[in-house]
Amino acid sequence: MIRILKILLSLAIAASIVAACSTSPTGRSQIIYRSDAELAAESARQFAEMRASIPLETDRAVIDYVHCVTTAIIEVLEPEYQELKWDMAIFDSQAVNAFAMPGGKIGVMVGILEAADNQHRLAAVLGHEVAHVTARHANERASRSPVSNIGVQVAAILLGGGHSGATYTAYEALNAGAKLGIMLPFSRGQESEADVIGLEYMARAGFDPRESVALWVNMSGDDEGAKVAEFMSTHPSSERRIEALISEWPTVLPLYNEALAAGRNPNCTM
């Protein structure tokens, strides 16, 4: 009887794993255990806490500018994501950061506008962050750990300040003693996948994908001490990231030209 129960349990576990298998937009296999609804509810709670604890930007020109770029990106997403009720907040923080959460939550820290200093570069940031949502990276990450890291990620953003490497450092500080044994916010593979998907989104929206390279040059900064060693960071190194972005140009430049020919030519300014 015990053996039969073990067999039945093994079959049930195997069936649940098969049922949870999914494929990312680039064709990568994923295993998802946590539902979109569950992650969306958790994200909404965390997003509300952020809005209550961080001052919001009040400059109308900044708000309209970020909204313009964000809207252009959302309009070219897959239908199921176009139809989401996206909620955006622009935080009066000098942290060099932006993020998107499951359920359609987008946060932009005004500090990132120094690096994303034109509409194309901001579109590269937002396309990348939204791609984490459409590729279900948060679901995939949460499925690998019994506790979601969304709360830790938000706390790290709050602690990040204006330093280009500070958010990662803050995240590590929150997880002292377990640097290499914890699930970081996103893996390098997920970051690279978001780069590819985000390039397509910005190109389809009428933003020049070549500007993504200038963005990451800006993000790398001139201070070598500000850089986080690649082997310790979830993000690819700036040099490797730039090489990968350039390799995608043969694919995304035709999409950009098609968008311009179709009249998608955003004019987002401050």
Annotation says 129 is catalytic = yes
**Looking at residue 44, what is its pLDDT?**
87
Kindly list the distances between the CA atom of residue 250 and the CA atoms of 48, 191, 259, 265, in Å, as whole numbers in the listed order.
Answer: 40, 20, 15, 20
Q: Give the CA count within 13 Å in the CB-facing half-sphere of 97.
A: 26
The catalytic position among 129, 140, 191, 211 is: 129
- Beta-sheet pairing, 105-109 with 87-91: parallel
Task: Sort 45 into a burial class: Cβ within 10 Å, 0-12 / 13-18 / 19+.
Answer: exposed
- The whole-number pLDDT of residue 26 equals 65
pTM of the predicted model, to two decimals? 0.75
State residue 251 phi and psi, 5-degree precision: -85, -45
* Phi, psi for residue 30 in degrees, rounded to 5: -130, 155
Q: What is the gyration radius of the CA atoms in the chain, in angstroms?
A: 19
Question: Which ranges of 56-118 does DSSP label H, i.e. alpha helix?
Answer: 60-74, 79-82
What tokens appear for 104 in the block?
A: 């359609």
So what's the pLDDT on residue 77?
96
> Among all chains, which residue has been given the structure tokens 């953003």?
157
* Closest among 142, 55, 72 to 107, alpha carbons compared: 55
Q: Are 220 and 227 in contact (CB under 8 A)?
A: yes
In tens digits, what is the pLDDT along the chain, a chain of 270 residues?
344 333 333 433 333 333 356 666 666 665 555 677 887 888 888 888 889 888 999 999 999 999 999 999 999 999 999 999 999 999 998 888 888 988 999 999 999 999 899 999 999 999 999 999 999 887 776 655 544 455 555 545 544 544 444 544 444 444 432 332 223 457 777 888 999 999 999 999 999 999 999 998 888 764 443 443 343 355 566 788 889 999 999 999 999 999 999 999 999 998
- In this prediction, residue 204 carries a pLDDT of 98
Q: How many CB atoms lie within 10 A of CB 171?
A: 22
pLDDT of res. 174: 41
Nearest of 153, 216, 217, 214 to residue 186 by alpha carbon: 153
